[in-house]
């Protein structure tokens, strides 16, 4: 009879071969592409160069990276605050209702991303629902231009990823031992102090995990800036898209994609490190960090 490891390898083999052939190899290929030149007619000239990575730091493109980070960061912050509040409210609801509320909070996450984004075009366009609402309230001026702005992109990102944050924050909140909050109150702490020094430190890892995921998904987003930001609005994802489908500069597009992956890995690693460090003292004292 076969040993467990060899049987396990046999079972894993087909999937691992698939992932290697259709994810690892193509991504390695993109990494390699980034070190070549663009050919004169848009093809690839196989001479080694570091120019593409240099170009990433060109003010024009570095600016788009910064703008993407700013938009993703703002969306993440807003989603984290609203998501935490919602998760807190759900975890305070009667126990048998909690799964129901959670289900309804997460359900929109699973409907089509394009459609959820399109819904915001319907709301925000010049003759859209918000303008109608303003008119109905007696507003007579020019319709406000809300669509095709940075604000619209941020709203779209928050809307699309909020359910995910709620889910990530709910898990630690629902596991929280209510006796801890009680003990804090019995010892004379106000509700605000209890929240700040007991509840928040114990549930921060959940917020961090959710926030990192939203940031990563937002910074590399293509659809939301393309639809809600308008034709010329660019984040990194749109820039990569353009290099491959319109500018036809694959090596530079590849370098941009690799820079995106590098940012993503940095953020994930920072979160993992912070989580490792925080799991020690924060769990015991629930204070100290905010003194």
Partner 1 sequence: MAERPPATRRTLWLVLSLVLAFLYIPIAVLVALSFNEGGLPTAWSGFSLKWYASLANNSAILSAALNTLIVALVSTAIATLLGTLLAIGVEMRRQYGKGLEALIFAPMIIPDIVLAIALLSFFSMLNLTMGLHTIILAHVVFNLAFVCSVVRARLKTFDWSIVEASADLGACALTTFRRVTLPVIAPAVIAGALLAFTLSVDEFIIAFFTAGAGRASTTLPMQIYAMIRFGITPEINALATIVMAVSITALTLSQRLNRGMIGQ
Looking at residues 232 to 291 of the shown chain, list those that interact with partner 1 (rule: CB under 8 A). 237, 240-241, 244, 250, 253-254, 257, 260-261, 264, 268
d(CA 206, CA 175): 11
Q: Based on the shown chain and the rule CB under 8 A, indicate whether residue 146 belongs to the binding site for partner 1.
A: no
d(CA 78, CA 151): 12
Which 6-25 positions form the footprint of partner 1 (CB under 8 A)?
7-12, 14-16, 18-19, 22-25
Contact 222, 116 (CB under 8 A): no
Pick the binder of partner 1 from 227, 249, 252, 271 (CB under 8 A). 227
Question: DSSP letters of the chain?
Answer: ---HHHHHHHHHHHHHHHHIIIIIHHHHHHHHHTTSEEPTTSSEE----SHHHHHHTSHHHHHHHHHHHHHHHHHHHHHHHHHHHHHHHHHHS-GGGHHHHHHHHHGGGGS-HHHHHHHHHHHHSTTSHHHHHHHHTT--SPPP--SSSHHHHHHHHHHHHHHHHHHHHHHHHHHS-HHHHHHHHHTT--HHHHIIIIIHHHHHHHHHHHHHHHHHHHHT--HHHHHHS-TT---HHHHHHHHHHTS--HHHHHHHHHHHHHHHHHHHHHHHHHHHHHTTHHHHHS-STT-
Q: How far is the CB of 185 from partner 1 (least distance, A)?
A: 10
Cβ proximity to partner 1, 39 vs 282, nearer residue: 39
Question: Per the structure block, which two tokens stand in for 103?
Answer: 């289900």
Q: How far is the CB of 167 from partner 1 (least distance, A)?
A: 12
Q: How far is the CB of 26 from partner 1 (least distance, A)?
A: 4
Q: Based on the shown chain and the rule CB under 8 A, indicate whether residue 107 belongs to the binding site for partner 1.
A: yes
Q: Based on the shown chain and the rule CB under 8 A, indicate whether residue 162 belongs to the binding site for partner 1.
A: yes
Cβ proximity to partner 1, 149 vs 282, nearer residue: 149
Pick the binder of partner 1 from 138, 178, 188, 280 (CB under 8 A). 178
For partner 1, how many residues bind (rule: CB under 8 A)? Answer: 84
What lies within 8 Å, CB to CB, of 265 at 6+ separation is: none
Q: How far is the CB of 284 from partner 1 (least distance, A)?
A: 25
Q: Based on the shown chain and the rule CB under 8 A, indicate whether residue 133 belongs to the binding site for partner 1.
A: no
Which 47-106 positions form the footprint of partner 1 (CB under 8 A)?
82, 85-86, 88-90, 92-95, 99, 101, 103-105
Q: How far is the CB of 101 from partner 1 (least distance, A)?
A: 7
Cβ proximity to partner 1, 62 vs 85, nearer residue: 85
Q: How far is the CB of 168 from partner 1 (least distance, A)?
A: 14
Binding mask 195-224 for partner 1 (x = CB under 8 A): ------------------x--xx--xxxx-
Cβ proximity to partner 1, 204 vs 212, nearer residue: 212
Cβ proximity to partner 1, 81 vs 289, nearer residue: 81
Q: How far is the CB of 289 from partner 1 (least distance, A)?
A: 25
Q: How far is CA 253 from the centre of its chain?
A: 21
């Amino acid at each position: 009879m076969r040993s467990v490891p060899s049987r396990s390898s046999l079972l894993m083999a087909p999937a691992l071969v698939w992932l290697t052939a259709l994810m690892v190899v193509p991504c390695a290929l993109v990494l390699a592409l980034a070190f070549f030149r663009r050919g004169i007619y848009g093809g690839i000239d196989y001479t080694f160069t570091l120019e593409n990575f240099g170009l990433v730091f060109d003010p024009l493109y570095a600016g788009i990276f910064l703008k993407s980070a700013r938009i993703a960061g703002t969306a993440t912050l807003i989603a984290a605050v609203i998501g935490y509040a919602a998760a807190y409210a759900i975890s305070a609801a009667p126990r048998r209702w909690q799964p129901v509320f959670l289900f309804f909070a997460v359900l929109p996450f699973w409907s089509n991303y394009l459609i959820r984004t399109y819904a915001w075009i319907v709301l925000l366009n010049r003759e859209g629902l918000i303008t109608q609402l303003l008119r109905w309230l007696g507003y007579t001026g020019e319709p406000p231009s809300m669509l095709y702005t940075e604000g619209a992109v941020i709203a779209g990102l928050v809307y699309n990823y909020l359910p995910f944050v709620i889910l990530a924050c709910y898990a630690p909140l629902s596991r929280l031992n209510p006796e801890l909050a009680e003990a804090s109150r019995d010892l004379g702490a106000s509700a605000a102090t209890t929240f700040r020094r007991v509840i928040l430190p114990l549930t921060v890892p959940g917020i961090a995990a959710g926030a990192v995921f939203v940031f990563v998904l937002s910074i590399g987003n293509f659809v939301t800036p393309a639809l809600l930001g308008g034709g010329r609005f660019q984040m990194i994802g749109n820039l990569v898209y353009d290099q491959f489908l319109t500018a036809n500069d694959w090596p530079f597009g590849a370098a941009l994609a690799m820079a995106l992956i590098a940012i993503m890995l940095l953020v994930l690693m920072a979160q993992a490190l912070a989580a490792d460090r925080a799991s020690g003292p924060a769990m015991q004292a629930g204070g100290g960090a905010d003194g």
